Amino acid sequence: MRVATFNLLHGMDLADGESDPDRLRAALADLDADIVALQEVDRHQERSGGADQAAIAAEALGMSQWRFLASVHGVPAPVSGWTEEPSVPGERRVYAADERGEGGPGYGIALLSRLPVSRWRVRRFPAAPLSLPLRVQGRPGLTRVPDEPRGVLAAVVEGPHGPFTVLAAHLSFVPGWNISQLARIRRSTADLPGPQLLLGDFNLPGRIPQAVVGRRGRGAGAVRWRSLARVPTYPSYHPRVQFDHVLGHGIGPEAVRRTEAVRLGVSDHCALVVEVKVG
């Protein structure tokens, strides 16, 4: 089975700064995977042609099972980060395939599967109460960017060898907050079927994620979460840092057949693809 995580950067092509739905569809069609986690996904945003990017991804990848979690409802604003959509103040929705076209502009994460999904679950995290100076595509120098609400999508997938759980997340860029979110995700998965996979852009480099979630429980019977891929994924044009991760719980390193960072036609991240035996 092939799993992938990819930060879309709302489908932006770095060459011209545009987000074209057809270009996004063509880029995602090259991502051959059975389960895909997406971050920085637009829904009905003017900057990305009003497209439902999760639906476009599902069509391009041939996946009927998917959910889009809106972390923010509204439109991007230069200073405040986001301007809430007046028609849905404070609303945080999860959209399914049969809700295409519904709702106002939003931004968040998506999880897609070719395999049947028997159950979905969501957990949300508040935004960190501070902003940080960051490099923003299309702007010179550093821009002070406020954090945004975060969340994790969980799917119980019916695999050929029985059920397993996949989780998708995009964690805060604020140091400490992202570590806390990752630890809380680990603690909240005990009641979900194993084995488990956690995919996403964690805004944490290299070995840090495994150090945070490396053990569950105590003593000789403690269960390890393992990093299943150590591959630089950022920036896409010359990857030097790994912000995108695939972690496994109940999955040993011997189950990993192949790992690769794939540069697609959009985004400043590479997609991280892992071929792994589950079950």
Domain 2-116+199-276 classified CATH 3.40.50? no
Rounded Cα gap, residues 37 and 5, in angstroms: 5
Using one digit for the tens of pLDDT, what is the confidence trace for 167-217? 999 999 999 999 999 999 998 898 999 999 999 999 999 899 999 888 655
- Answer whether residue 114 shows pLDDT above 90: yes
Using one digit for the tens of pLDDT, what is the confidence trace for 1-28? 999 999 999 999 999 999 999 999 999 9
On whether the CB atoms of residues 247 and 209 are closer than 8 A, the answer is: yes
Q: What is the pTM of this model?
A: 0.92
> Within a 10 A sphere around the Cβ of 258, how many other Cβ atoms?
10
Domain boundaries, the chain: 2-116+199-276
Using one digit for the tens of pLDDT, what is the confidence trace for 60-71? 999 999 999 998
> Within a 10 A sphere around the Cβ of 143, how many other Cβ atoms?
15
Residue 90 is predicted with a pLDDT of: 46
